[in-house]
């Protein structure tokens, strides 16, 4: 399938998480679709690692992959922190349900922008030419 399509699918799947939390009729719905999110997360992480290995020069793979993971951790931390403060503020203004729904929609918009940025990635998977056959040893 290629790395780019899996990365784009993974990132756009993450856009659906805040939407589901904002409007799920029950916790059982969230439990059910969490299986889909889990599969998507596994595919996304595997394709991200493969993509990084493809685009990073061999002598820098370890350090730049570690740097990528550091950035993901920092942005996850500050995104959660900011979301917590924002939800406290919107809950005080609009009440629990509407306040959380507003914050989830802001999160969904931010995730959508991040996912759309992945559309600009170049595919790195090399497709075999017509004369090439698969050789198993």
Express each pLDDT in 22-67 by its tens digit: 999 999 999 988 988 999 888 888 889 989 999 999 999 999 999 9
Is residue 137 in a domain?
no
Whether pLDDT at 5 is above 90: no
Whether residue 80 lies inside any domain: the answer is yes
Task: Look at residue 95 and tell me if it is in a domain.
Answer: yes
Say if 131 falls within a structural domain.
Answer: no
Residue with tokens 């370890």: 62
Query: Which residues form the domain of 84?
Result: 3-120
Asked if residue 126 is part of any domain, the answer here is: no
pLDDT band at residue 6 under the 50/70/90 scheme: confident
7 CB-contact burial (10 Å; exposed 0-12 / middle 13-18 / buried 19+)? buried
- In the chain, the number of structural domains is 1
Q: In the chain, what percentage of residues exceed pLDDT 90?
A: 66
pTM: 0.82
Whether residue 130 lies inside any domain: the answer is: no
**pLDDT score of 111:** 94
Residue 135 belongs to some domain of the structure: no
Cβ neighbours for 83, distance < 8 A, ≥ 6 positions apart: 103, 107
Is residue 110 in some structural domain?
Answer: yes
């Amino acid at each position: 399938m290629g790395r780019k399509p899996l990365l784009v699918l993974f990132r756009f799947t993450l856009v659906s998480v805040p939407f589901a939390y904002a409007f799920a009729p029950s916790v059982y719905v969230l439990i059910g679709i969490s299986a889909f999110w889990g599969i998507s997360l596994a595919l996304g992480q595997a394709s991200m690692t493969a993509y990084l290995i493809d685009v990073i020069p061999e002598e820098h793979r370890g350090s730049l992959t570690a740097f990528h993971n550091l950035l993901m951790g920092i942005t996850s931390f500050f995104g959660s922190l900011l979301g917590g403060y924002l939800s406290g503020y919107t809950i005080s203004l609009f009440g629990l349900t509407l306040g959380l729904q507003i914050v989830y929609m802001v999160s969904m918009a931010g995730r959508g922008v991040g996912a759309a940025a992945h559309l600009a990635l170049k595919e790195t998977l090399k497709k075999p030419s017509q004369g090439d056959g698969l050789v198993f040893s």
